[in-house]
Each structure stands twice: as structure tokens, then as C-alpha cells.
Chain A
Amino acid sequence: LKAVILIGGPQKGTRFRPLSFEVPKPLFPVAGVPMVQHHIEACAKVPGLKEILLMGFYQPNEALSRFLVSAQQEFKIPIRYLQEYAALGTGGGIYHFRDQILSGGAEAFFVLNADVCSEFPLQEMLEFRQQHGDVHSFVILGTTANRTQALNYGCIVANADTQEVQHYVEKPSTFVSEIINCGIYLFTPAIFQHIGEVFQRNQQELALEESSNGWQRAEVIRLEQDVFTALAGSGKLYVYKTDGFWSQIKSAGSAIYASRLYLNQYSKSHPERLAQNKPGGPVIRGNVYIHPTASVDSTAVLGPNVSIGEGVTVGAGVRVRESIVLHGASLHDHTCVLNTIVGWDSTIGRWARVEGTPSDPNPNDPYAKIDSETLFRDGRLTPSITILGCSVTIPAEVVILNSIVLPHKELSRSYKNQIIL
């Protein structure tokens, strides 16, 4: 049993800029640990899971290598990075590396998208397959969305009794189903046969086209559009529906939302990661993560939903709420940071107010998902989470509202609803 985590590459995850300029998106810290570490922790807990393969098209870089080394040491499970030579799509990569995945006689393997946040009910998916399908069935993890938002995802129609997938369509324009694809799958080696068929078809189509369009490659295969759509109704694909928390992490705003979901989970899974109110310590409200090397003044008030990274300094009388403060940042006295991601090594001057607008899903709708808002609407910047890129300096006493500040910028005045290059 193995797990493959699809981590994408620099051309993907562009909605995560400017944060993705510094660090590959899958390594961006969510609730205090790299996004993809939550996946690894969940995989490491599955008995019999022998190896984790990270797959993507990032060039080898220091951050990724260091992460792999420390993750292997911490979770005591082999973790390798397989670099695709080009962006091969969600299916093309696993097809290309199928020998690696199947090596050692793997009878089944999970495939997980790195940019989702989830409870990862992997064990439950295995048990479900035993009960509902057979040893050759494939399982998609599904969850419920509301009717309007379901159109933004892969929609699954399933038989009510058998949970067999009868119909699958990716991002339809009309309503098909409220059950959506979570981007977490359980496959057997037989999946490669189906992907191979798509590959053959692609090659034939390309051969027919005389003019070689350089961007088209036969090896680019999308699991969702190319494979699942074809497998629906064939009796081989099943959906395991979960009510556990789940969200995509496409934009900075969704990183804060995902942090909240994981921080909530920590009370059961990792209570040691949650900060507690202590005499001489800052006031903690709700779920807060503080890295052990951070230095937080005792008059600061943090939370709910706050992550304070490595080596961060939080001064006297600082208020932080619904925010992520990345490592090395410094918040001077009396600052107020709300709905913001403060970039690595940034500085916020005294009495400054840095505030964004949350894009949270409707709290009254249990199936509402976070919206992937467009950056602009009606010619104006949509109010969203404020993002300070790395090494940004905010002077004292200004207000930065609903703005995105690119790395290394030193501001000299207040800004509202702006992208500051």
C-alpha cells in the first residue's frame, strides 16, 4: 500500500501568489506545519502503508529537500520526490511513474492532491472498498456541496445503494449533483490500464493532426476529465462520501480558512500544538498555534485562528486574529493584525493596522465551500485577505486594508484595496 501526493509545480498555484514566490505552495504552512505535512501525517497513520511519493514538476530546491529529510525522520516512512519532466496533468504523472508506484508489489495506492485540507479518512476508504466494491475497485472521496458551488468542482452521481459512480463531470455549467470530488483517491494497479487507453487515444489524435502544436502532449492526462468520466457507469468506480471537514486551498484566503479547520482538529489529534493560557504568557482566545521559538509579549492577545511561525516577535499590546504570521516576522507594539497573512521576515510598525476581509463560506450553510473569488470585480479589487509578501516593511501608525503587497516592498503610507507592486 502506497500513497502518491500530487504537488504540482511553479506554473500551477498562481492564485497563491505572492506567497508562492518564496516557497512552493505545498510547503506553505497551514496551522503551523507545511500544507503537505498534514497529508503525510495521515498517510503515516495507515497501517501497512509502506511508502509516500511526492510527485510534481518543481525543480529540486532546498526547501523541498530539507522538508523531505525532516519528514522522513519524523514519520519514519520512506518519502521520495518524483519530478515530472513537464506538467503532465493529474493522471499523466502517475502514469509516467507507474513502475515506481507499483514497485515492491503494491496492491493499492492512494492519490492525494496537495492543495486540499481534509480529515483524510484513508482507513475508512479502505474499509469501504472491502464492503462495497472488490479488490479491483477504485474509490473517490466525495463530500457534499451546495447546489450553486458544486458547479465549481467535479460532480459525482452515485447509485444510492451501491455507491457506484454512474456519472462524473468536471465543473459542469448546469447542476448535476451536490456530491463533489475531494481530490483524494484509492486506486489499484488496474487504473494504469485505463490511463494507458487515454494515452493511446491522445497519441492517435495527435498523429492525425498534422501541425504539431508544441503545447499539446499525449502524456498530459487529466484523471478527472479523461479517466473518471469514462469510468463512470462501468462498475469499477465508487464514491466514499464523507462529512468530515474538507476544503480546497487555492488562494491565500483559503489558507486561513484551512488553518482554522486543522487547528480545530488539533484539539483531538495534536493538543500539544495548541497554545494555552498561562500566567506570564499572552492571552489566547480559541485555537492558536505558536512556534516554540517565537517570542510573544505577555500583553498580546492572540486568536482565534492564529498561527505564529518560527522566530516571530510579537510586541506589547498586539492583537492578532484570523491570521497567519510567517517565520521571522516582527509585529511591533500595539499593532492590530486581522484576516492577514504576514510574510516571512516582514515588519509591522507600531500602532499599524493591517486588515483583510475574510472570504469564508456562509456559516449557516453546512455544505458551503470557500469561494474562489476573482481578483477583480466591476473594475475594483475584491475585498479579500491582506497579504504581505516576504520582507515587507509597514511603517508605524498606518492602515493597510484589503491589499496585497509584493515582496521586499517598504511602504511609506496607508493603502486600501490596492495591489502594491
Chain B
Amino acid sequence: AGPLALARDLLAEDGEPFFVLNSDVICEFPFAALARFHRQHGGEGSLVVTRVEEPAKYGVVVCEADTGRICRFVEKPRVFVSNKINAGLYIFSPGILQRIQLRPTSIEKEIFPAMAQDGQLYAMELQGFWMDIGQPKDFLTGMCMYLQALRAQHPEKLHSGPGVVGNVLVDPSAKIGANCVIGPNVTIGAGVVVEDGVRIKRCTVLEGARIRSHSWLESCIVGWSCSVGQWVRMENVTVLGEDVIVNDELYLNGANVLPHKSIAESVPEPRIIM
């Protein structure tokens, strides 16, 4: 929250409320609904909450059912308190800036509990999907959710054609070879080349990467400008950083590869390659 103090002048300039977002979160971003909700209750801050199965991993919110006013705010509780958690999307009135000093500050641990006590913090329940995409495994889950929502709202943006299964997003500048089967749940970035006979499932392939022929990828993140060889099998949340080269005929199982590495040997069990 410290950075908000740093931007104090810019934020308080026009006296209007401002959004604050955690960047490692994916959802449908109900900005209009959130702004409306905030104006209605007139408190200092509103945050979005979502229901999750394992709330102990996050900041848990206890609020009044009818007004949404937050009573308690507990970060990563050790016992079950509530299954609604802080989704990392906020809108604040400029008055909040008086609570924040220019020092490293945790908004969840220091600012919110005080605001809750003052009855100034309100929660709006999120509709639709939500995922904390800070970990590669969760990133892929979030990607699947996003694609599913896209299918419901803008199906024309998804890719279709021979060899496309389920929800697949392909940049117009990407090239996909013959006899490939892509999807479900695949996103392919700009300038990516997928050669013939490739099977990709539940992956993100970032800009400029090349997947050579007959390879098989499931649950992977392929970084920018990577080159994945022929007859490569990658699975189980293998993550390739930028500019990684994977030689032909290798097997990568849960490999986390740092940028600019060349992989010349199979990684049969999950590990980090530095």
C-alpha cells in the first residue's frame, strides 16, 4: 500500500474514487458494478470478494449479509472463519490516503483491519470466475477459466477449424501446421510456429515460440522465443522461461527451466533447471 502514498498527488487530484488491482489475479473485472456499489454505500473503500474452496490460503472476509459492510478481516486464518476471500480488486475514495504512510505497508494486514473497525470497508461478491495466477499451476487453471468465460461471452474470438478441440485462442499471426490437434484450453501467442503433427493440451505458448513437429505438450507454459524440438514430450506444469531450447526427443516432466537454457537431457521427475 506504500506506493499509493507515493502517488498521493495523482490519485487525490480530482477527488474521484480510484481502483486498485492485484495484477496476479484473473476474473471478469466488474468495474462498473464495483463503482456503483461503492458510490451507493459511501464508505471509504470497497473490495471484491469471491467464494473459494480453500480460504486459508488467502485473506478472509467476514461481512454483514445485507449491507456488505465488513466486520472482520483476517489474513490467511488458521481456523475456518468464512469462505469468502479478498479477490484483490479494490476501489477507494481519496480519503483513504490519509491512512497510508510512505513506507512499506501491507494493505491487507494494516489498513483494512482498521477500516473494518471504523465501518468504512464494504465487500461486493464477485460473479463469475476468479483465480490467483501467481503459481504456474494456478495460472493454467485460470487460463482455462478465462477461456470458458470467453466461450460463453465472445465465442467468435476463439479459434476453430480442423484439429481444434474445445476452447483455443490463437493469435492471427501464429502458424499451425498440418495434422495438429490443438486444445482444449490452449492459448497461442503472436508469431508462434507450431509445426506438423503437434498435440497441445492445456498450455500457454508465448510470443515467438516454435514447437517442432510431432511433439506432445500438456499443462505447460512455453516462454517467449522458445524452441521446442521434434518428438518432445512435455507435461505436468513444465515451464520454459524466455529463449529456452529443448533438444529433440526429450521428455520433460514438471521441469521449471530458467531463461536462455539449453536442455539436452530428459527431466523425468519434476525439478528446476538453472
Interface residues of A (CB under 8 A from B): 316-319, 321, 333-334, 336, 338, 350-351, 353, 355, 397, 399, 401, 416
Contacts and interface: CB of A to CB of B under 8 A. Distances in A.
Contacts of B230: 319
The dominant DSSP class at the B interface is: loop
A317 B216 contact: no
B199 A336 contact: no
Interface of B: 179, 196-197, 199, 213-214, 216, 218, 230-231, 233, 235, 249, 251, 268
B197 A416 contact: no
Contacts of B197: 316-317, 333-334
Given A319-B230, A399-B233, A401-B268, A351 B196 contact: no
A316 B197 CA distance: 9
Contacts of B249: 319, 321, 336, 338
A336 B218 CA distance: 16
Contacts of A318: 214
Contact of B233 (A316, A321, A353): A353
Contacts of A334: 197, 199, 214, 216, 231
Given A336-B214, A399-B233, 9 more contacts: A319-B214, A334-B197, A334-B214, A334-B216, A338-B249, A351-B199, A353-B216, A353-B251, A397-B218
A353 B230 CA distance: 12
A399 B179 contact: no
A399 B231 contact: no
Closest 9 A-B residue pairs measured CB to CB?
Answer: A317-B214, A317-B197, A334-B214, A336-B231, A319-B231, A351-B216, A353-B233, A334-B197, A351-B199
B216 A397 contact: yes
Contacts of A319: 214, 230-231, 249
A316 B198 CA distance: 12
Nearest to B266: A355
B196 A317 contact: yes
Contacts of B231: 319, 334, 336, 353
12 contacts: A317-B179, A317-B196, A319-B214, A321-B249, A334-B197, A334-B216, A334-B231, A351-B216, A397-B199, A399-B233, A399-B235, A399-B251
Contacts of A317: 179, 196-197, 213-214
A318 B249 CA distance: 11
Contacts of B268: 401, 416
Contacts of B251: 353, 355, 399, 401
A318 B213 CA distance: 10
A166 B16 CA distance: 103
A333 B179 contact: yes
Nearest to A353: B233
A351 B179 CA distance: 12
A350 B251 CA distance: 16
A336 B251 CA distance: 10
Contacts of A401: 251, 268
Contacts of B218: 397
A355 B218 CA distance: 18
Contacts of B213: 317
B227 to A, nearest CB: 17
B249 to A, nearest CB: 6
B145 to A, nearest CB: 24
Contacts of B196: 317
B233 A336 contact: yes
Contacts of B199: 334, 350-351, 397
